[in-house]
Chain A
Amino acid sequence: MKRLFILIPLAAFLILVGFLAAGLRHDPHEVPSPLVGKPAPLFNLPRLNDPQLTLSAAEMQGQVWLFNVWASWCAPCREEHPVLLKLAASQIVPIIGMNYKDERDKAIAWLRQGGGDPYLTSVIDQEGRTGIDYGVYGVPETYVIDKAGIIRYKHIGQLTEQVVAERLLPLIMELNAE
């Protein structure tokens, strides 16, 4: 009994280490989105290439699509751009962009400088109102939306080849089969 007593501080210490180790592996900037599993908020926004035309989220119903929030002022967006271009070239999934709190001229120039436009269409969210509906708090953010218009996954921050290969592609395959 006395021996066991001596082990208590050690056990408590190990539990604490366990919690801290788990905490180290978490990125505090990745806040789980309450929107996963919920219908993607509806929007009807002007298109970047022709603001006279709009695109609404409802038009994407019936297919699996990616919704990527980007801006010309966002440095990590530049880094994920080649990944998106590659994904777009594979034609596995349509990517809709949302140009968030940006200026149209700068956004268009940014796409040209970045080596192309990976987006089927980009819509303009000048005021950031649709961004609030989607719970955007840092750009880039990427949502996987299924055929029924439900958000199935949200990636916060820059997309990497690894995230695309390990998370997005398997999920998209699965959702396409649904």
Chain B
Amino acid sequence: MANHPQIEAQVSRLAEELRCLVCQNQTLADSTAPLAEDLRNEIRAMAAKNMSDQQIVDYLVARYGDFVRYRPPFKASTAVLWVGPFALLLLGVIFVSVFVRRRESHMAPVSSNIEQARKVAELLRQDQ
């Protein structure tokens, strides 16, 4: 069972995707907690039984919840998590564009006369 390269590849692929619940900011692959080791062994046993990635993830989600997944699925309870940053970015863009446009409309019209503009530039230079 051990040292079968295909199984080991599946175990390490899944262990990178799954969270260790004891030390929550580590993946199962990184963690040295006893539970993480147990779960890696459990995954290895399932992989040896030819279970797919999806089946193995489902098995763990049924026991530990979506929290074991580093990439939680999109559903009602996680919608804010997935959509929130983009919604905030959009709000920010709208806010800035409205703000900038308003400020522009309050500005004095810029002279389009090239001659005048050159005079202004000359006066400014003399000033220095």
A positions within 8 Å CB-CB of B? 5, 8, 28-29, 31-35, 101, 127-129, 132-135, 137-138
Contact = CB atoms under 8 A, between A and B. Distances in A.
Interface stretch (B6-14, B34-42, B107-115): B34-42
Contact of B42 (A5, A29, A34, A132): A132
B59 to A, nearest CB: 9
Nearest to A2: B102
14 contacts: A8-B95, A28-B24, A32-B65, A34-B61, A34-B62, A34-B64, A34-B66, A35-B63, A101-B34, A128-B34, A132-B38, A135-B64, A138-B21, A138-B22
A31 B64 contact: yes
A135 B63 CA distance: 5
A128 B34 CA distance: 10
Given A101-B34, A128-B38, A132-B42, A33 B65 contact: yes
Interface of B: 21-22, 24, 34-35, 38-39, 42, 61-67, 95, 99
Contacts of B61: 34
B21 A132 contact: no
A137 B95 CA distance: 45
A137 B35 contact: yes
Nearest to B91: A12
Contact of A29 (B24, B38, B62, B63): B24
Per CB-CB distance, the 7 closest pairs between chain A and chain B, nearest first, are: A137-B21, A135-B63, A34-B65, A31-B67, A135-B64, A128-B38, A137-B35
A151 to B, nearest CB: 12
Contacts of A34: 61-66
Nearest to B67: A31
A129 B42 CA distance: 9
B67 A134 contact: no
